[in-house]
Amino acid sequence: MADETPNPTEAPWASKRDPSGRHLLRRAIPWLGVLLLATLIGWGLWPKPVIVETGVVARGPLTVHVSEEGKTRIRNRYIVAAPVAGNMRRVLLKPGDPVEAGVTVITTIEPVAAPLLDPRARTQAEAVVAMHEASRQRAAESLQAARAALKLAESDRDRMRSVTRDGTLSDSDRDRMEAEASIKAAEVRAMEFSLQVIDYELAQARAVLERPAAGGAGNLIEVKSPVGGRVLNVMQESETVAAPGMAIIEIGDPADLEIEAEILSRDAVAIHPGDPAEIEQWGGEVALKARVRRVEPAAFTKVSALGVEEQRVIVLCDLLDPPEAARALGDRFRVEVRVAVWREDDVLVAPAGALFREGNVWKTFIHQNGRARLTAIDAGRSDGRLTQVLSGLREGDKVLLHPPDTVGDGTRVVTRGG
């Protein structure tokens, strides 16, 4: 048994030392915890590589398009109007119904009765009739006198022809008698024509005094379709009193379509007739091939959805060999028009999402040895997905796509999945 007699030189309150050294371990544990905590904090605050996506600069074809919303429209439209005033019967045709040129009856019009004449107008009309009747009598008397003169001239000519002995009449007398007979015959024919003209004028003057009945099958006027196609719109369907020139129905051929696009004027200057175009979002999976036919020379002002006034130009395109599915397109259907205004088969291109502007300078981040290197470049044309690189990059360079704000020059980066 160990001697537990206290040492007289030590104070009674002094702790006894552990001869095994376990008190050193107990004193080191808190410091080890603090060191571990500091290590964890330092590791957490240490900058980690930014995860990014990259694209490759390569050479290839590049086509620049001008894209704009457009609509289909029938090339030739015909509006059938009322030819006369009258009571128009109901139109039975509906939009989409087929019509045949010169056969399909659109409607029938019963002309209105002639209006009544007031006393003054009737007196004037009767005076006109009397004037034409007097003119006819005068022309008839003149015709009778001309016929009598012709008969006398023909008698003289015939007597002259019966004289066969030479020297009885001179050659000039014979020619004069022949010419006089011909002149008198021509005067008779002229007087007969004048009498016919006066008869027509007299009939027209008498028609003013008449008031024929409006009813009757003979007075109905059939309005027929001038062209073949389908009914596009019925402007006046119900029975009504029509005025001359009143629009009744609109007709067109849905198979004869063209594409109309309202292009911004600054983009339209690069479009020319004959440029290739593509029609997308028309309802089919494959884009339709088209060609620009006309760029109208005059622009118009249009207010955008944001309230901005824009100058736009109408560009018309023709479809090239549309498939059978495209026959379902009708008038005023919405489509997307993409017109090719520039193309090169071999250019250096980079993803458009990798480029950004700082002031007036285009820049991008190149992925080199695990770090992002900010590089200024010279950019050319772009189609929205790829951009032409004129200088600053080389083929095969990897560039960061849509780099976040945390990426700067020299920032450690790592590709997604890398």
Using CA atoms, how far residue 296 sits from 30, 91, 258, 261, in Å, is: 86, 37, 14, 11
262 pLDDT more than 60: yes
pLDDT tier at 394, thresholds 50, 70, 90: very high
Q: Which fold has domain 77-108+219-252?
A: OB fold (Dihydrolipoamide Acetyltransferase, E2P) (2.40.50)
Q: What is residue 218's predicted lDDT score, i.e. its pLDDT?
A: 58
User: Taking the complete model, does pTM exceed 0.85, yes or no?
Assistant: no
Percent of the chain with pLDDT over 70: 88
Lowest mean pLDDT among 45-49, 128-132, 257-261: 45-49
Please state the domain extents for the chain.
56-72+255-415, 77-108+219-252, 119-209
Quick check: do 56-72+255-415 and 77-108+219-252 share a fold?
A: no
Q: In what order do the strands lie in the sheet with 221-224?
A: 221-224, 105-111, 86-88, 240-242
pLDDT (0 to 100) of residue 258: 94
Look up residue 2 and give its amino acid: A
Query: What is the pLDDT of the chain when averaged over all its residues?
Result: 85
Cα separation of 187 and 191, whole Å?
6
Under DSSP, is residue 246 helix (H, G, I), strand (E, B) or coil? Answer: coil
Cα 322 from Cα 312, distance rounded (Å):
27
Q: Residue 11 pLDDT > 60, yes or no?
A: no
Q: Is the pLDDT of residue 16 over 60?
A: no
pLDDT at 70 over 80: yes
3-class DSSP assignment, residue 56: strand
Edge-to-edge, what's the strand order for the sheet holding 247-252?
77-81, 247-252, 229-234, 98-99
Across 96-100, 192-196, 324-328, the highest mean pLDDT is recorded for 96-100
Per-residue pLDDT, averaged over 398-412, amounts to 88
| Residues in a beta bridge with 411 | none
Could you count the other beta carbons within 10 Å of the beta carbon of residue 363?
17
Q: Report residue 194's pLDDT band, with 50, 70 and 90 as the boundaries.
A: confident
- What's residue 2's pLDDT? 46
345 SS3 class? strand
pLDDT band of residue 212 (cuts 50, 70, 90) is low
User: What's the one-letter identity of residue 183?
Assistant: I
pLDDT of residue 199: 86
Average of per-residue pLDDT across 163-191: 76
45 Cβ contact partners less than 8 Å away, ≥ 6 residues apart: none
Query: What is the reported pLDDT for 1?
Result: 44
Predicted local distance difference test score (pLDDT) of residue 364: 93
Q: What is the spatial distance between Cα 403 and Cα 355, in angstroms, rounded to a whole number? A: 9
pLDDT reported for residue 370 = 85
pLDDT at position 39 over 90: no
pLDDT of residue 203 exceeding 80: yes
What residues contact residue 372 under an 8 Å CB cut-off, 6+ apart? 50, 52, 365, 366, 400, 403, 407, 408, 409, 410, 411, 413
pLDDT in tens, 268-286: 999 999 999 999 999 988 9
Does the structure show a pLDDT above 70 at 261?
yes
Q: Which residue has the higher pLDDT, 11 or 251?
A: 251
The matching CATH number, chosen from 3.60.15.10, 3.40.640.10, 2.40.30.170, 2.60.40.420, for 56-72+255-415 is 2.40.30.170
Query: What are 340-379's pLDDT values in tens digits?
Result: 999 999 999 999 999 999 888 999 999 988 888 999 999 9
Higher pLDDT, 31 or 226: 226
